[in-house]
Amino acid sequence: MVSKKTPSRFQPGTRSYTMSRIRGTETSIERQVRSYLFSRGLRFRKNDKRYPGHPDVVLPKWRAMVFVNGCFWHMHQGCAKFSLPKSNVEFWTTKLTRNRLRDQEQGEKLKAMGWRVFTVWECQLDARHAQETLQRLYEAITADGDPNEGVKDEQIERQTARG
Ligand SMILES: [Zn+2]
């Protein structure tokens, strides 16, 4: 079982709170996704700072990006792992809603730049679901797009300059 992330561990001001907010600090779920994709032969960049939201996995060859989202911080709708904390309700509602809106905006921007954007949720990576989730992710990434027509680095630079 994946341990349930309780917000009490993430009180504002504490180190774990700060660290958990920074994409680029590798979490175990990110590592899980990366090592699977790597084992299937895919090569990628990590936390590419040139893009909105710093996607966890960037696969230019497949014009694909993957975000690995914690269910709490990214407010996974309808998820058993997500429920608002009982205290500081207003604080958490504002904060998490903002996270969610930002995720949506960033996703739209990336799609407008021609990327295929995939999101993998923490709850889809527990012991019971991980195998199937990762397999489907791999298939989705490689199902579409000719690798020979992938996004070249020059195109990325141009897109970034524009966006
Ligand atoms: Zn979830």
Q: Which domains does the chain have, with CATH numbers?
A: 24-155 (3.40.960.10)
Instruction: Measure 113 CA to ligand 1 centroid, in angstroms.
Output: 27
**Structural tokens at position 152:** 């070249």
The DSSP call for residue 75 is T
Confidence of residue 2 (pLDDT cuts 50, 70, 90): very low
Instruction: Measure 114 CA to ligand 1 centroid, in angstroms.
Output: 27
Q: What is the pLDDT of residue 49?
A: 86
Residue of higher predicted confidence among 145 and 115: 115
Mean confidence (pLDDT) of the chain = 81
Q: Report the predicted TM-score, pTM, of the whole model to 2 decimal places.
A: 0.74
Instruction: Measure 99 CA to ligand 1 centroid, in angstroms.
Output: 15
CB atoms < 10 A from the CB of 54, how many? Answer: 16
pLDDT tens track for 9-63: 454 544 444 444 445 456 799 999 999 999 999 999 998 888 999 999 999 999 9
pLDDT reading at 156 higher than 70: no
Letter for the amino acid at 90?
E
What are residue 120's DSSP bridge partners?
68
* Helix ranges (DSSP H) in 88-145: 89-112, 130-143
Which residues, in sequence order, are CB contacts of 115 under 8 Å at separation 6+?
63, 64, 65, 151
Instruction: Measure 13 CA to ligand 1 centroid, in angstroms.
Output: 25
Cα separation, 58 vs 34, whole angstroms: 10
What is the b/e burial string over 136-146, where b = at least 16 CB atoms within 10 angstroms of the residue's CB?
Answer: ebbeebbeebe
Instruction: Measure 142 CA to ligand 1 centroid, in angstroms.
Output: 24
Instruction: Measure 36 CA to ligand 1 centroid, in angstroms.
Output: 20
Q: What is the pLDDT of residue 15?
A: 44
What are residue 58's DSSP bridge partners?
45, 65
pLDDT reading at 157 higher than 60: no
Q: What is the pLDDT of residue 32?
A: 95
Q: What is the pLDDT of residue 71?
A: 93
The DSSP call for residue 54 is -
Tell me the average pLDDT across 73-88. 90
Q: Which of 66-70, 113-117, 149-153 has the lowest mean pLDDT?
A: 149-153
